């Protein structure tokens, strides 16, 4: 019987076939219900005990080899038969592959960062989940400030919240470096607001910080004018209105001349000729001290803008929600932007 197994092993090794019928015949002859291997299997109990081990192992090898051979030839016959049927036509025009586009917020974010890196600002990023010290206390927010209210800020616990601005990143930069500091901090920020055409609970900011000896309000104004002209065009004008932020003193709100009516007055600028784009001011000495910087030696300015707002003005988009809905009819309009 051992010889029989050897003969069959040899046969399996040599077997080839040119069509599927031959493979099936071969399978039935060896592995079918009345097949030769099946017969050997049932003869196994008649094998003398001392030969059982050797015979069993050989028989198993044979069975596996036969199964593998059948499957292998079947596979190769099947795949070659399909490729024969569908002869490839190499002259056919290629299928159109639609290209994606950058999100308008990414386009404008890059543009803002490019403008500031051209005049020596570095880019700094920090955590979106922030502690009270970096988001509020270091920035001179008094304990009872309304921004610390659950209604404005997403708190995780008493100490930890989702950052409400990227000023928190600038606190980290000030703590970890010595002036001169020139940096812009882009990132996502979170505020507990109802979603509407003008507000969203998630939006994007770029905030800037410049600290050195003798930095003045004139430096701030010139930097912002340069930014506005680079972003909106050479003829753009800016206007600063007094405002209040806990971390800057004095503080101002920055407006740019309306891009739609060129400052003449229209519906978009509510006939004022100007549109608000950011907040700014001279860094409050308390903030410098909180971050380990000697306020008798150094002074600095800071500013912060929403990327959504800049993008809406630049591309005349009238609803903030477009940025988050991922409607391709909206996104595809930015294909040519880089
Ligand atoms: N952090 C302010 C905000 O989120 C913006 C700002 C930054 C204002 C720096 C003044 C100076 O609204």
Residue boundaries of the structural domains of the chain: 2-86, 104-334
Nearest in space to 161 (alpha carbons), one of 141, 181, 186: 141
Assess whether pLDDT exceeds 90 at residue 125: yes
The pLDDT of 81-108, averaged and rounded, is 81
Site residues for ligand 1, CB cut-off 6 Å: 165, 167, 207, 245, 248, 251, 279-281, 302-304
DSSP state of 198: S
Q: In angstroms, what is the span from residue 164 Cα to ligand 1's centroid?
A: 10
Mean pLDDT of 74-86: 72
Of all protein residues, the one whose alpha carbon is nearest to atom 8 of ligand 1 is: 279
Mutate which of 141, 302, 307 for ligand 1 pocket (most atoms within 8 A of beta carbon): 302
Q: Are 159 and 135 in contact (CB under 8 A)?
A: no
Mean pLDDT of 103-128: 97
pLDDT band at 42 (very low <50, low <70, confident <90, very high): confident
Indicate the fold that domain 104-334 takes in CATH: BirA Bifunctional Protein; domain 2 (3.30.930)
Q: Is the pTM of this model over 0.75?
A: no
pLDDT for res 92? 86
Average pLDDT for 157-176: 95
The protein residue whose alpha carbon is closest to atom 9 in ligand 1 is 303
Site to probe by mutation for ligand 1, drawn from 164, 247, 288 as the one with most ligand atoms within 8 Å of Cβ, is: 247
- Residue 84 clears pLDDT 60, i.e. is over it: no
Whole-number pLDDT of residue 111: 96
Which SS3 state, helix, strand or coil, does residue 262 take? coil
CA-nearest residue for atom 10, ligand 1, is 280
More confident residue, 213 or 263: 213
Instruction: Give φ, ψ of 244 to 5 degrees.
Output: -140, 130
For range 190-213, the mean pLDDT: 94
From the centroid of its chain, how far is CA 88? 39
207 Cα: distance to centroid of ligand 1 (angstroms): 7
The neighbour count for residue 134, using CB atoms within 10 Å, is 20
Q: Quick one: pLDDT band at residue 239, thresholds 50, 70, 90?
A: very high
* Separation between Cα atoms, residue 188 and residue 198, nearest integer Å: 17
Average pLDDT over residues 160-175: 96
Closest ligand 1 atom, residue 301 Cα = 11
User: Which of ligand 1's atoms lies nearest the C-alpha of 303?
Assistant: 9
């Amino acid at each position: 019987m051992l010889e029989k197994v050897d003969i069959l092993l040899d046969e399996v090794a040599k077997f080839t076939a040119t069509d599927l019928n031959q493979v099936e015949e071969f399978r039935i002859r060896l592995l079918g219900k009345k097949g030769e291997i099946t017969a050997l299997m049932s003869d196994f109990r008649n094998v003398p005990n001392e030969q059982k081990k050797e015979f069993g192992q050989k028989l198993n090898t044979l069975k596996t080899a036969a199964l593998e051979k059948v499957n292998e030839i079947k596979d190769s016959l099947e795949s070659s038969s399909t490729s024969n049927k569908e002869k490839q036509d190499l002259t056919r025009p290629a299928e159109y592959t639609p290209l994606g586009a950058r999100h308008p917020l990414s386009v404008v974010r890059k543009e803002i960062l490019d403008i500031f890196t051209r005049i020596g600002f570095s880019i700094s990023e920090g955590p979106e989940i922030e502690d009270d010290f970096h988001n509020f206390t270091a920035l001179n927010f008094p304990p009872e400030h309304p921004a610390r209210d659950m209604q404005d800020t997403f708190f995780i616990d008493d100490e930890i919240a989702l950052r409400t601005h990227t000023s928190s990143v600038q606190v980290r930069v000030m703590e970890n470096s010595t002036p001169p500091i020139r940096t812009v901090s882009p990132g996502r920020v979170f505020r507990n607001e109802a979603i509407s055409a003008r507000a969203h609970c998630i939006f994007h900011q770029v905030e800037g910080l410049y600290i050195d000896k003798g930095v003045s309000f004139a430096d701030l104004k010139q930097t912002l004018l340069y930014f506005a002209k680079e972003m909106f065009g050479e003829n753009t004008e800016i206007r600063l209105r007094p405002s209040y932020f806990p971390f800057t003193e004095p503080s101002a709100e920055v407006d740019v001349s309306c891009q739609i009516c060129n400052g003449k007055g229209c519906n978009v600028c509510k006939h004022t000729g100007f549109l608000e784009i950011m907040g700014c001011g001279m860094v409050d000495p308390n903030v410098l001290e909180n971050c380990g910087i000697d306020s008798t030696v150094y002074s600095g300015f800071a500013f912060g803008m929403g990327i959504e707002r800049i993008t809406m003005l630049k591309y005349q988009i009238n609803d903030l929600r477009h940025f988050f809905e991922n409607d391709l009819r909206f996104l595809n309009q930015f294909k040519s932007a880089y």
